[in-house]
Chains A and B, each alone.
Chain A
Amino acid sequence: MSEQVFEATIAKDQRIEPRDWMPEGYRKTMIRQIAQHAHSEIIGMQPEGAWITRAPSLRRKAILLAKVQDEAGHGLYLYSAAETLGADRGDLTRRLIEGRQKYSSIFNYPTLTFADVGVIGWLVDGAAICNQVPLCRSSFGPYARAMIRICKEESFHQRQGYELLMTMMRGTPAQREMVQDAVNRWWWPSLMMFGPPDAESPNTAQSMAWKIKRHTNDELRQRFVDMSVPQAGALGVTLPDGDLRWNAEREHYDFGEIDWSELKRVISGDGPMNRERIAHRRRADEQGAWVREAAAAHAAKRQGVPA
Chain B
Amino acid sequence: MTTRTEMIEARRPPDMRRGVVGWLRANLFNGPLNSVLSVITMVLLAMMLWPMAKWALIDADWLGSTREACSGEGACWVFISARFETIIYGFYPDPERWRVNSVLAMMTLLVAWLAIPRLPAKRWVGAFALVGFPILAYVLLNGGHFGLVEVPTREWGGLMLTLTVATVGIVGSLPIGVVLALGRRSQMPLVRSLCVVFIEFWRGVPLITVLFMASVMLPLFVPTEVEFDKLLRALIGIMFFWSAYMAEVVRGGLQAIPSGQEEAAKALGLGYWRRMGLIVLPQALKMVIPGIVNTFIALFKDTSLVLIIGLFDLLAIIRAGLTDSDWLGFATEGYVFAALMFWVFCFSMSRYSQYIERRLHTGH
Partners in one complex: no
Task: Show the binding face of B for A, using Cβ within 8 Å.
Answer: none
